[in-house]
Amino acid sequence: MFSIDDYFNKGFTLLELNPDIYNNFYSLLQSENYVHDETREEKRNIFSPDWDCEIPFRNISYYENSIKYIEIISQLFRNRDEFNFWKSVYGNFDNYSIMINKLLHNESMPWHWDGFDSTFLQILIYFGDLPNGIFKVGKLDRCTTTFNNEMPHYYPEKHFDAISEDAKFEIIFEIEPQPNQAIILNNLNPLFVHHITEIQKNTPRYTIMCGCGFENNFSHNAFTYNTELFIH
């Protein structure tokens, strides 16, 4: 299932999870109090825990509540041989950025790239009555725009997750998220973008997203600490 070749050639790979770890995550998700993000009026069916928020607005509540997820993921990273490349070359990650979504019927996530958050790779784990939508990873022919050829997917007037309107897809890979499975995304290459289709069932779909990287990179990131620039 896990393939370092797929990670670099396709922009993703899959990791099988121990059912106990998966069920522990699911129990934590179901215990959260979910609220709608009022800054995303166009997304009426996307909810997050009441402590979760965009990077510039994170406070002590975010860090106190996300630590229970970080402890599990950081231990997973340390214990699994599949991550030996990153551990051997870069060392153990010391910064984990947790994001949680609960999506209801007819809601989806558009094509985007998450690389402005300084993380090396991203771990996505889906929960609920699975499969419930198709996760897609696309490889683009370019990442710059006609307005800026120095930064990838640079649309600061929109948000730092839009993709270049000038790019064309060279290939698209499709995955049906399953229980006891994590999707590992290459978050350093802006030619790889991803999205997930609409929910197909009348049951919620939960997602844990964890960006893995290093505090030194994160603390020096001019985008994540510039609230006006990052959010708009």
DSSP 126-164: EEESSS-S-EEEEEES----SS-SSSTT--TTT-TT---
Residue 55's pLDDT is: 82
Residue 41's pLDDT is: 62
Please enumerate in sequence order all residues whose Cβ is within 8 A of that of 79, keeping only pairs 6 or more positions apart, or say none. Answer: none
Q: Can you tell me the distance from the alpha carbon of 16 to that of 19, in angstroms, rounded to the nearest whole number?
A: 9
Greatest CA separation found in the chain? 48
Beta carbons of 195 and 122 less than 8 angstroms apart: no
Residue 219's pLDDT is: 85
Residue 148's pLDDT is: 84
Residue 232's pLDDT is: 42
For the chain, domain boundaries: 4-231
pTM: 0.92
Smallest CA-to-CA distance from 176 within 131, 209, 137 is with 131
| Architecture category of domain 4-231 in CATH | Sandwich (2.60)
Q: Can you tell me the distance from the alpha carbon of 53 to that of 62, in angstroms, rounded to the nearest whole number?
A: 8
Amino acid making up residue 130: L
Q: What is the pLDDT of residues 53-112, one digit of tens each?
A: 888 888 999 999 999 999 999 999 999 999 999 999 999 999 999 999 999 877 778 899
Average pLDDT for the chain? 90
Residue 138 to residues 15, 190, 191, 220, Cα–Cα distance (Å): 19, 10, 8, 29
Output the tens digit of pLDDT for each of the chain's 232 residues: 899 999 999 999 999 999 999 999 999 999 999 998 766 666 678 899 999 988 888 899 999 999 999 999 999 999 999 999 999 999 999 999 999 999 987 777 889 999 888 999 999 999 999 999 999 999 999 999 888 888 898 877 766 667 888 899 999 999 999 999 999 999 999 999 999 998 889 999 999 999 999 999 988 888 765 544 444 4
Peptide bond into 110 cis (omega under 30): no
Residue 226's pLDDT is: 53
